[in-house]
Structure 1
Amino acid sequence: MTILIADDHPLFRQALCMAVSRVAPGERVIEAGTLNAAARHVGETDDLSLILLDLKMPGAVGYSGIALLHAERPNVPILVVSSAEGENAASEVRSFGAVGFINKNGDLDAMEDAIRAALAGKRPVAPPPVEPESEAGVRETVAGLTPTQLKVLLAVVEGQLNKQIAWNLGITEATVKGHMTAIMRKLDVGNRTQAALVARSLGLDLAH
């Protein structure tokens, strides 16, 4: 089996590799320093058992990395390892598909315990605080978008036009429009501006 470590800081990747080697010495480890590289590994590696993901990576905004990788491989647990602050960080990453959250300021033993729990299929975080039902439902909807729909939505948040999105994703403008129609229907909004506002309200454009 293979564990993916996605973090743009080489020294921290090394620390995570050490933690993984102590918890699961028989597992193969692959590394990625950008979200695009992580997504490529996720698409090409059939035997993934765990993804260790930093939120603040080149190519990622807010919780977009979790949503994108979870959409690509919904059955592979994602354990977020980040320095993000805030008491709601753990519940927020779970709402986008992660199984748990490790603060980078914690010690190595805590990281190892969380990795061990994730590999065992346990969720190493406390139950999330109660949030408004409407917000929770929208988070689930965003987490349920397809990988391409997520990429289109993130591009809209960045202010890209359909022509730019089509060029960057290697698809036609008509296909982009089709994805936007599906996104707006799922989010229950009437236009792309409203879709972008929903995405921003859920932290998809926040830097962590």
Structure 2
Amino acid sequence: MTTRIVIGDDHPLVQAALRTGLSTALPDLDIVACHSLDEVLAVLSARPDEIDLVLWDLNMPGIQGFTGLFMMLAQFPTVPVAIISAKQDATTIRRAIAYGASGYIPKSLSLPAMADAVTRILAGEIWMPPNIGGRGSLQSSDLELASRLASLSAQQLRILSMIVAGRLNKQIANDLNIAEQTVKGHVSVILRKLGVGSRTQAAVLAERLSGGGDAS
């Protein structure tokens, strides 16, 4: 039976190394290489029932941190997404698992260790490096924020990421090819769901999506 994995990473060397390492552990493997979130979402839209796992780099151009994870889970909640990243601090790893990732694989691991981690995730495990601890090690604020962010739609998450980047409603409307009034409606819903009163407060809260900051 063919195992289909989407790798979202913009570094060709990383893509090639993962392909080599995973192909050794999983001989009947179909890998789809993507270099942006839009490419990953397009693949999932075209064949959502055929993808067994997405491996997602936290540091992708244009969509930093956990925003991409939330957008994929919002649109395709049944497709497992595991993080593969150069970041390996315990707080980021715990947040990734709290936010719904099926695993967290540091890029510092050897290829055989990465392949073993992927195999375990495909078998249904939630995998992270040893001695990190799981959701029970998280602050309540992390879990509360995860719940708030999970209530946003994929489009609202995209708009939130643009707010964090300092984009105005008119600019967001042009970028997404939607009416400015539609953007204003989404912004109102985002503020309500996040429990904040302004775009600035929403942006501060959403800094957690980039893996940094401590929001209440």
Aligned to 2:65: 62
1:48 alignment partner, SS class: coil
In the alignment, the residues of structure 2 paired with residue 45 and residue 145 of structure 1 have an alpha-carbon distance, to the nearest angstrom, of 23
User: 1:114 — aligned with what?
Assistant: 117
Q: CA RMSD in A?
A: 1.7
Query: Aligned with 1:68: secondary structure?
Result: helix
Return the match for 1:76 from 76, 79, 86.
Answer: 79
- Inter-partner Cα distance in structure 1 for 2:141 and 2:104: 24
CA contact (8 A) 2:97 2:134 kept: no
CA-to-partner distance for each residue in 1:95-151, whole Å, 9 max, x for gaps?
A: 222111111111112111111111111111242453332331112221331110001
Check if 1:188 corresponds to 2:190: no
Name 1:41's counterpart in structure 2: 43
Are 1:157 and 2:164 an aligned pair? yes
Question: How big is the shift at 1:205?
Answer: 7.2
Aligned-partner Cα distance in 1 for 2:106–2:141: 28
Tell me, yes or no, if the aligned pair for 2:8 and 2:37 is still in contact at 8 Å.
yes
**Structure 1: 5+ residue stretches without partners:** none
Deviation, 1:45, is: 2.3
Q: Which residue of 2 aligns with 1:141?
A: 148
Contact 1:23 1:115 in 2 (8 A): no
Spell out, residue by residue over 1:161-193, the C-alpha distance to the aligned partner (whole angstroms, 9 max, x if none). Answer: 111111111111121111111111111111211
Encode CA deviations 1:56-111: one digit per residue, 9 max, x unaligned. Answer: 11222122221222222111111111111312222121122211111111111211
Corresponding residue for residue 166 of structure 1? 173
TM norm structure 1 = 0.91
Deviation beyond 4 Å, 4+ runs, structure 1: none
CA contact (8 A) 2:6 2:53 kept: yes
Distance 2:137 2:23 in 1: 36
Q: Which moved more, 1:148-157 or 1:30-39?
A: 30-39
